[in-house]
Structure 1
Amino acid sequence: MSYAMFGSQRRGLGTRRLLLSLLLLAFWEAGSGQVHYSVLEEAKHGTFVGRIAQDLGLELAELVPRLFRVASKGRGDLLEVNLQNGILFVNSRIDREELCGRSAECSIHLEVIVDRPLQVFHVEVEVKDINDNPPVFSLREQKLFISESKQPDSHFPLEGASDADIGENALLTYRLTTNEYFSLELPTNSKQTKRLSLTLKKSLDREKTPELNLLLTAADGGKPELTGAVQLSVRVLDVNDNEPEFEQPEYKVRLMENAAKETFVIKLNATDPDEGVNGEITYSLTSIKPNRKPLFTLDENNGEVRVNGTLDYEENKFYEIEVQATDKGNPPMAGHCIVWVEILDVNDNAPEVTVTSLSLPVREDTQPSTIIALISVSDRDSGANGQVICSLTPNVPFKIMSTFKNYYSLVLDSALDRESVSVYKLVVTAQDGGSPSLSATASVSVEVADVNDNAPISTTRALDEADLPRQRLLVLVKDHGEPALTATATVLLSLVESGQAPKASSRASKGSAGTETALVDVNVYLIIAICAVSSLLVLTLLLYTALRCSAPPTEGACEQGKPRLVCSSAVGSWSYSQQRRPRVCSGEGPPKTDLMAFSPSLPPGLDSEVREEGQEVGSNHPGQACIKY
C-alpha cells in the first residue's frame, strides 16, 4: 500500500512538472512576441484559430484603448481578431494552393501592433493542406498507335495525372481496366510528375483486335481519396513495325529567366531504321507542364526547341516538355522523349520598401531606443538576389534594427534637440545581394515636437551711466511652459533730474509772498530686454517717466508725498505691499517726488530710515524686486 502511495506521489510530481514546463514554454513564447498557430485550408468563416490576446499576454480590456490591430501583407483579410474576446478566427476562404502553390511550407505571417506603449508581435499561422483537389489528366483521351509487330514486354509511355495538393494528398496511384493485352507499370524513380507506361503482355493481332478502349484511373492518397480518369484509345497498326527513337529518353537544359523570344533551347534528334517514308520523321510537342502555356516552340522538321514566351523564375522554376517523333509510314509510328528545362534566377526584381509611421511627431525628450516607425522590405528574387540589406541616412540620431526576417524598426539612437534640428529628412535604402545589385528607397520625414526644456534668458542695460544715485532691481522672468522655467536679472536704476539741480533761491513771480512753485522734471529710463522664451522671442521695453508735480509748500515745512510700493515675488506672482509716506525735502524749493528702486536687501541709508520711521517697506523676503514711485 505504501508503495502504491509512493508511486502515486511520483506520478503527481511528474504531472506538475509537465504542467510547469508547458506554462513556462507558453510564457516564453508570449514574451518573445512570436506565436505559432495552424489552421486547415478551406476552413469555414468563424473557425477558431487561437486565443491571440491571451497568448501574447494582453488583457482583453486593453485591446481597444491600446489600438490593437493586425496586419497581414498581401494576405487580405483571411484572418481576423475579435476584440471582445481576443480570439483569432478565419474571416474568409483560405486556399493553400492559391497562397503557396506546391510549396511544402505555407504560412500566413501576422504583425500584431498595440500602442501606448508601442509593442509589436509576430504571429505565424500555418495553413495545413486538405485533400480538396482531385487528380487531373491534361487530356480527356489519349491515343496510342501500336504496331502489331510489337513484341511482348514492349513499353508505351502514358501521360500521368497531376494533383495540386501536397504530401499524401498528392501521392497518386493508378488502376487500369482489366484486359488481356496490357498491364500498367508504375514509375520506379521519383519524378516531379508521375509517369506511367503500358506493358504489352502478348502480341497484338490487328485482324482480330484492331482497336482497344481502356480506362486509366488515378487516385490520390487523401482520406477520403479523390480520383480522376482518362480514356485510352489503342489503335493496332500494321506493316510499319519500327518506330522513331531518340538518342536518349530524357534531356536536361538550363535557361536564364527573361530569355528573349526565339532563344535556342535544344536540338532533338530521332532516328527510324525503316526505309522510305516509314523512316521520315516529323517532330511535335505533346505537352508542356506545369501550365501548358505555349512558352516553347518546336521545329517539326529539324527538332529545334526555342523560347516562345516570357520565362519567369518567380512563377515557375522547372518545365517538362514532352516531344513526339512520328514517322510517315502507313500507319505512322511514334517515339517519345522528355526535355527538362530548369530556369535560373536573374536579379530582375528591385526590393520593395514599406514604411509605417507609428509615433510622429517625436517629442524632443523621447528616450533613446524608442521605436519611431516600422519598415518592411521584400524582394521576389531568390538566393542572394533576394537577400535584402536595409540602411539609413548617415549622421542622424536614428538607427535601423532588424526585428523579424525582412522586418525592421526605426529606432531613436540618441537624444533630440528641437532647437538645433526641428525636422529630419531620412532616407531608408533597401539593397539586394544580386550582381549587379538593385535597390529601392523610401523617404521618412520625422518632425521633432518641442518640449519646455530651455529657461528664459534675460538681458538688462542701463541707459545712463552718469554718477547719479543708483539702486539695483531684481527682475524675475517666467515662461508659460509645462513645467514653467524661470530666470532672473539685476537691473541698475539711475535717478536723473532734468534741468538744473535745485538751488537755494528759485525764480519768483510778481505778487508772490515767498518762492514760487518750481517745476522739477525727473526722468528715469529703464529698458529691460527679455529674450529666448521657448521658440517665441519677446522683447519688452519698459519706460517709466517721473510725474511732474508741483505744490506751494509752507515755508520751512516738508510735505509728505504718497508713494506706494509694488513688489515682484521670485515665484512669479505680483503682490501689493504696505504704503509709507517718506519726507522728501529740498532747502528752499518745493518738495519733489522721486522714483526709487531697491533690491530685497535694503541699501544703506534706506534701512536706517525705515527703522527710524518704524514702518515696513515692502516684503523683505529674498528674491523680491521692489519699485517705489
Structure 2
Amino acid sequence: MVVCVRAVVRVLVLQAAWALGGGQVRYSVPEEAKGGTVVGRLAQDLGLEAGEAEARRLRLVAQGRRASVEVSGASGALVVSSRLDREELCGKSAPCALRLEVLLERPLRVFHVEVEVTDINDNVPLFPASVVNLSLSENSPPDSRFPLEGASDADIGANAQLSYTLSPSEHFALDLQKSEDDTESLFLVLRRPLDRESLAEHRLVLTAIDGGRPSLTGTVELLVSVLDVNDNVPQFDQSVYKVRLPENSERGSFVLRVNATDLDDGSNKNISYSLQSLFPQDGRDMFEIHKTSGEIHLRGSLDFEDVRLYRLQVDAKDMGNPPLSGHCKVVVEVLDVNDNAPEVWVTSLSVPVPEDASVGTVVALLSVSDRDSGANGRVRCAVWPPAPFGLVATFAGSYSLVLREALDRERVSEYEVEVRAEDGGAPPLRASRGLRVPVSDVNDNAPAFAQAVYTVLARENNAAGAELARLWARDPDEAGNGRVSYSVAEGGAGSGAGWRPASSYVSVDAESGRLWALRPLDYEELQVLQFEVRAVDAGEPPLCGNATVQLFVVDENDNAPALLPPAGGGPGPWAAGEASASASAPGSLWAWAAWGAPAGQVVAKIRAVDADSGYNAWLRYELWEPRGKGPFRVGLYSGEVSTARALEEADGPRQRLLIVVRDHGEPSRSATATLSVSLVEGAEAALSAAAAGAGASSSGAGLRPAEGGAAAAAAATNVWLVVAICAVSSLFLLAVVLYGASRWAPRAAVLAGPGPATLVCASEVGSWSYSQRQSRSLCVADGAGKSDLMVFSLNCPPPPGPAAENGSAEKGPSLSPYSSGTGCRLSE
C-alpha cells in the first residue's frame, strides 16, 4: 500500500515536472514490481482524452532492447510488462532511469518519457567465495593481522551499507578500518597463540549485514589452517615396553612393535626408529628394528643361561629442522626352556673300597647341576644298581655316594656304578655318570681245601721222592691274602714205642701242595697213614685251613709164600694130619700114614703164609710130584694132604711128595715143600701120633686128632675158605669194573668223601684192602690169622691204570679247587 501511494505521488510529481519541462514525462517505479503494475497514466499525462490513445495509436518506440514497460492500448497507461531489476538495468549507478520514446500518430508526435527504477533491498551481501582458506603459522605472535576480502552488495545506498560479524573464537577477532577515501579494510586479528597439535584447523563464519530494512546477510566460511612448526618431539605409546621370549625362539622372530607419534605435521611428523642396547652392552647385535615400522625382530640366538634380561632403548627421530627425538625402553625377558641336560661331576672318589668297610662309608662326592631354572633345573638323582651303594643329599646340588650293604670282594671285585640325573622339565632331560668302584681285598677268607678228607693210594716200594698226590686249598682273597703255603701239621702211624710221625714218611711242598714220599713205603710195615695238612695264607693276621689225608699203601706182590715151621718148634716126626719141615733141610716135611687107610684120610697139612695181602696172599697148593695117579692128593686151597685111594703095600714104605705153594699175585710167587710120607702099620702110626701129640703139648701147641678132630677142623676150614674165595672173586670182578671206569675218570689218585663203607680195589693185581675198624681173618692152615682186608669210607672210583701199570704210585692229579676244609686262625 505504501508503495502504491509512493507511485502515485511520483506520477503527480512527474506530471508536474513534465508540464514544467516542456513535454517530458518522468515516472518512478520500484524494481522487482510485478507485471501489470501501472507505472503512470501516460495518455492522461500527455493530455489525451479517453479512447484517444488507442485511436491515435499511442505506443513506445523500441530502442534496441526490450523494454520492461509497455503502454496499455485501452487505457493508455504505462504498465510494467516484465521484471524490473535495477541491478541488472543500472548496476551500481544511481539513479537508475529508463528513457523511453512515446510515439503518437495522427498527428505524429514524439514524447520523451523517463522511468526511474528505484532500488529495493533485494540483494544479499555476497563474498567472493563461500569458503576462504587461510594458512597461519602456529608460531604467529598474538595481535597478528591477516587481511580479509569483504562482501559486496548489488544494492545501492543504505541497502548496500555493510557491517561484519565473526563467529565466536578465543583465538581470532575482526577489525574493520575505514580510510580517508571512505574505503574499508577488513582484518582478521590473532588474539591468542595457535597450537596446531591442539587444533590444526579453525573454522570461522564471517557474516556481512547490509543496511536495508529488513537487512540481508551474507556469510563466508573462513578455514584457518594452522601451519605446523616442529615444536613437538615424537612420543611413544608407552615409556617402557615389556615382552617375554622363550630362549629357543628362532632368528628373525617377531619381538614387538613400538609406536611413536609426532603431533607435528608434514616432514616434522615423519619418524625413523633406531635401537641401542643398554644391558648387556654387547647385546646390540641380538635385536634389530625396522626404521619406519618400529617392528623389532630377533637377530641372534637367545640363551637364558647366559642372559636372562635385555634392556633396550629405542629412539624415534622426526624429520624436522632441527630434528627432535623421543625415547622409550624395551625390556625383553628371556624365558627358560628345558634345553640343558643335568650335569654330574665327581668331585671326590675314594677307591678302592675295602671289603670290610662299614655301612655308611662315603665312597664319592658328587655335584649335580642343571643350567635351567625352575622346574627345568630341579634335578632328581638315583644310583644304579640300587645296591650296595646309595645316594645321600648333603645340600643343594651335592650328593654323597655311600655304602648301603656289606661288600664281599670274593663275590664281586668291582662295581660299575651309574649315577643317573633327571630334571623336572617336560619332556625331562637325563644325564648319567659312570663310576668304577674296585673293592680292595681284606684277609677275611681262610684257605679251604676241596675236601675235608683226602684218600691217597700209594703203591708200596715206591721210589723216594715220588709224588703221591697234589693238594690244593683255595683262598679267594688276592695277593698275599690269597697266597697259600702248605705244611704237614700232625699225624703218624704205629703205637707205643713204634709210633712214627707222618713227617718221616711224607712231605708237602709249601708252594705247590704236592705230596711227596720221603722213603719207600712197605705195606707189610704200614698200611694206613693218617695225618693233617695245613694251608696258611700270607695275610695279616694269617688264616689257615686243615684237611685230613688218609694214605693207604697198596700192596705189591713182593713176598713169596713161606712155609711155617712145625708146631713143636723143632724137627721130629709129626702125627698124621701135620707135616713137619726140618730145620736142617728147609722145605722137607715128613709124615706117617697107616696101611689100609681109606681114601680121603688126611695124612698131613702143609702150612704156609704170605706176608702180602689180598690176592697176593691168597695161596694155592699143587702136587708137583708124583704126577699122575699117586696115592695122595693136596687140597688146592687148604694144603691138606689126603689119601686119594686106599693105601696098598704096592705103594712102598715111603712116598715122596713135591708140593708147590703159589700165591695169586701177578706175577705169582711160589715156595716148594718136600713131604716124605712113611707107610707103617696102624699100631705104629698110633704110637707116632701119640708121641707127636705129647711133643706138641710139651711145646705149647695142641695137636689135632688124626681122625675125627682133624677131619672136623679141616671141614670147618674148608667152609670158610669157600666163603672167602666167593667173596674175593666177587670183589675181583667189581675191581675190574671200577678199574675200567677209572681209566676215563678225571681224578683217580686222590679219593675222598663221606659215605658208607665201600670196597676199594687197591691194585689191578687183585689185592683187597679194608679198614681196621671192620676186619675179617683169613685162616691159612693152622697158622695165625691175618687181617688182609680193610674197610674205609669211599665214594670215588679206583686209582687210574698208569699207577698200576708202572708198579708204583705215580703223580696224582691236582685236587679240586673247591674246598670244604676246616679253617683256623694262626697265632702270631
Same fold (TM over 0.5): no
Question: Which has the larger Rg?
Answer: 2
Higher helix proportion (structure 1 or 2): 2
TM-score, structure 1 length as denominator?
0.42
TM-score, structure 2 length as denominator?
0.33
